Amino acid sequence: MEFLIENELSILRWVHILAMVYWLGGEWGVFQTSYHVTNPALSLEERRRHMETAYRIDILARTGIVLLLPLGLHMGKLYGFVPLLEGAGVWWMWLFFAVWLAMTWTAFIKRETDLGLAVTRTEELLRYPLIAALVVVAGMAFAGTGPIESGPSNFWYPSKMALYAFALVIGLFLRVVMRRWTERFRILAQGPDAAQEAALAREIGQARIAAYIYWVTIASVCFLGAVKPF
């Protein structure tokens, strides 16, 4: 326990790097797999196998993106940027994100069921107020009105928070696309459906554009955290 306390910041930084790696690498894996999921030349069974692979890769990316925020906030507390998390505040923060992570894994494990789809939709809805809160808090930090203590030497921290919120927006869109895959494949399992195939092709085209923006955003978050340029 003494080792953990003495090396708290270093351990958090290490886990933060791992979460970032799984986030970025996982999204690339899902992107590549999506080509086969939406390929109408393949059999439905083959496409479903690729969709299963995509989900198994994606859960690591989802886990990474959920963990990044509490890890960043916890490190922000140690840096002195987030005084609200002093004392019991940090434990309440981790409890909130533990529930979010549990919902993420429940949605993954039960993804082929109505329960899984319902949990996925609920998790998606919870992201809206979280994104709004992050944007507001980042804006207040730049204005110097709290709750993040920011200044000329650490504007990188609220900037990173704002970029993370933007990444959540893109991720939310990509999550919706993957949820629709499950719903559309349920329909395709009943027989060929040109409308569903057209919708798959349209959505994957949009998702690929979003993925490119996603990678640039993730890389920018990494840059701010590593370089701390302003």
Q: Which residues are CB-contacts of 102 (< 8 A; sequence separation ≥ 6)?
A: none
Residue 4 has pLDDT above 60, yes or no: no
Which residue blocks in the chain are alpha helix, DSSP H? 2-6, 8-37, 44-79, 89-109, 114-143, 156-188, 194-227
Of 47 and 14, the one with more pLDDT: 14
DSSP of 120-173 = HHHHHHHHHHHHHHHHHHHHHHHHT-SSS---TT-THHHHHHHHHHHHHHHHHH
Per residue in 122-164, pLDDT (tens digit) is 888 888 999 999 999 999 999 888 788 887 888 999 999 999 9
Sign of dihedral through CA atoms 43, 44, 45, 51? Answer: positive
181/202 Cα distance (integer angstroms): 12
Tens of pLDDT, residues 61-115: 889 999 999 999 999 999 889 988 888 889 999 999 999 999 999 989 988 788 8
* Span 180-224, pLDDT tens digits: 877 888 888 888 888 888 888 888 888 888 888 988 898 898 898
Task: For 162, list phi and psi in degrees, rounded to 5.
Answer: -65, -40
pLDDT of residue 1: 60
**1-10, 28-37, 149-158, 191-200: the lowest-pLDDT one:** 1-10
Determine contact, residues 27/61, Cβ cutoff 8 Å.
Answer: yes
User: Mean pLDDT highest for which of 1-5, 91-95, 115-119?
Assistant: 91-95
For residues 171-184, give the mean pLDDT: 81
